[in-house]
Amino acid sequence: MRTKVAIIGAGPSGLLLSQILHRAGIDTVVLERRTREYVLSRIRAGVLEQGLADMLRAAGVGERMDAEGQVHEGVNLAFDGRLERLDLAGLTGGKTVMVYGQTEVTQDLYEARDAMGGVVIHEAEDVTPHDLETDRPFLTWHRGGEAFRVDCDFVAACDGFHGVGRQSIPKDRIVEHEKVYPFGWLGVLSRTKPVDHELIYANHERGFALCSLRSDVLSRYYVQVPLETEVEEWSDDRFWEELGRRLPPEVAARLETGPSVEKSIAPLRSFVAEPLSHGRLFLAGDAGHIVPPTGAKGLNLAASDVHYLSRALIAHYHDGDENGLRAYSEKALRRIWKAERFSWWMTTLLHSFPADGSFGHRLQHAELDYLFGSTAAMTAMAENYVGLPY
Ligand code: RFL
Ligand code: PHB
């Protein structure tokens, strides 16, 4: 088998890259370790920056998002008995975010790949990149006990944090920067009316909480939990009680509870690998970097990587211009580091850090109080939250 760009991973990065390249006449093969059903069962991000929403429209996959997604003009922060609204649109000259689930984005991308006859191979085991430092790289894998190979011009590793792409770069050619936080997020999806039509991020001495949503009848909530906690320790009743205690009383009073549809724990991590390329291999999305979910940046960073990488590959194939590919890592990393900073900042501002004691908690309140008293500070937060330019 031969293709121009072999893509490892059928998450949002891999599928979006494949879709954009296909529309530019560049053929791809996507190799995914899991089944399509498994990929579509993962509940993850819910907030899309305008840049990603525009990319989906331009890639011909924005129709359902525009019909079913919700445009949000503000987000809310609860702290120290207060509930304050950050007017995203007012502070950024009209910019907004789109609330539309990552699962739906992935589903729309799969359907678009089907409609265009795109090749996505599932249950590909032991995917291995070869000869990345030559101009004839190839990938091998197994499926159902049989061995396969695809020859290509380039390999795009869109295979997430635990993928094989980054691991195949020699250790002396890559630097990894990492910060692990001493807690995780317990997330619950429930078929209940969201407690608010906008998101509420809550700083509370018992720990952080987040009220998010997927639609008018589907809510997504998170609470900060210690790393040692198992999901089995959290009955639905215990979750709802803890969430309610961390929200302002007037919000907790209107919390509609119900059975969870999904419940999982995710650890929080900041991570960046540099550079994001090696020979003919390019890393995009979680394969190259991770942010804690507090700033809602993970999926959006995956999209900006795909933006830079797809443009570079199109310039290579259409114009013989290599500059984009050469500059990809540096260009993507400039935006990544800013999103890393913002995600770290929001995480630090809103979570409980037991080691910092009451002093740390009072500093957080002082910073939040300053934030909502300063148009400059609110503008800085708003322009990062809606997404920095590509
Ligand atoms: P993904 O989605 O992890 O997809 C990688 C794909 O590669 C496959 N794979 C392999 N395939 C073949 N061979 C191998 N060796 C392979 N190894 C892995 C995997 O099966 C998978 O299908 O990475 P991608 O495409 O880069 O997308 C990144 C996003 O998924 C991620 O950044 C976001 O979900 C992060 N995130 C959020 N991002 C936002 O922008 N806004 C949010 O509101 C938001 N909330 C979240 C989040 C992530 C969360 N968790 C669970 C980590 C909330 C949570 C709780
Ligand atoms: C979500 O809806 O899953 C969500 C929203 C905002 C975040 C993280 C996750 O910051």
Kindly state whether residues 161 and 284 are assigned to the same domain.
yes
Q: What is the pLDDT of residues 121-137, one digit of tens each?
A: 999 999 999 999 999 99
Kindly state whether residues 25 and 104 are assigned to the same domain.
yes
Q: What is the pLDDT of residues 335-375, one digit of tens each?
A: 999 999 999 999 999 999 989 999 999 999 999 999 999 99
Going by CA atoms, what residue is nearest to atom 37 of ligand 1?
45
Kindly state whether residues 118 and 33 are assigned to the same domain.
yes
Backbone angles phi, psi at 46, to 5 degrees: -140, -5
Q: What is the pLDDT of residues 247-288, one digit of tens each?
A: 999 999 999 999 999 999 999 999 999 999 999 999 999 999
**Which residues 6+ apart lie within 8 Å of 149 measured at CB?**
1, 138, 139, 140
Pocket residue to mutate for ligand 1, from 41, 44, 127, 283, most atoms within 8 A of Cβ:
44
Q: What is the pLDDT of residues 288-322, one digit of tens each?
A: 999 999 999 999 999 999 999 999 999 999 999 99
Kindly state whether residues 166 and 251 are assigned to the same domain.
no
- CATH number, domain at 259? 3.30.9.10
Kindly state whether residues 149 and 195 are assigned to the same domain.
no
Domain that holds residue 262: 182-268+354-386
Q: Is residue 81 part of a domain?
A: no
Kindly state whether residues 306 and 214 are assigned to the same domain.
no
- Kind and range of the H or E element at 251? helix 249-252
Kindly state whether residues 148 and 201 are assigned to the same domain.
no
Q: What is the pLDDT of residue 45?
A: 87
Kindly state whether residues 199 and 248 are assigned to the same domain.
yes
Helix/strand/coil percentages in the chain, nearest 5? 40, 30, 30
Q: Is residue 87 part of a domain?
A: no
Q: What is the 21 CA–ligand 2 centroid distance (Å)?
A: 29
Q: Is the pLDDT of residue 43 over 90?
A: no
> Structurally, how many domains does the chain consist of?
2
> Could you give the angle at which helices 298-319 and 12-23 cross, rounded to 10 degrees?
30
Q: Is residue 50 part of a domain?
A: yes
Q: What is the 308 CA–ligand 2 centroid distance (Å)?
A: 24
Decide if 72 is catalytic: yes
> Residue 44's pLDDT band (boundaries 50, 70, 90)?
confident
Q: What is the pLDDT of residues 50-102, one digit of tens each?
A: 999 999 999 999 999 999 999 999 999 999 999 999 999 999 999 999 999 99
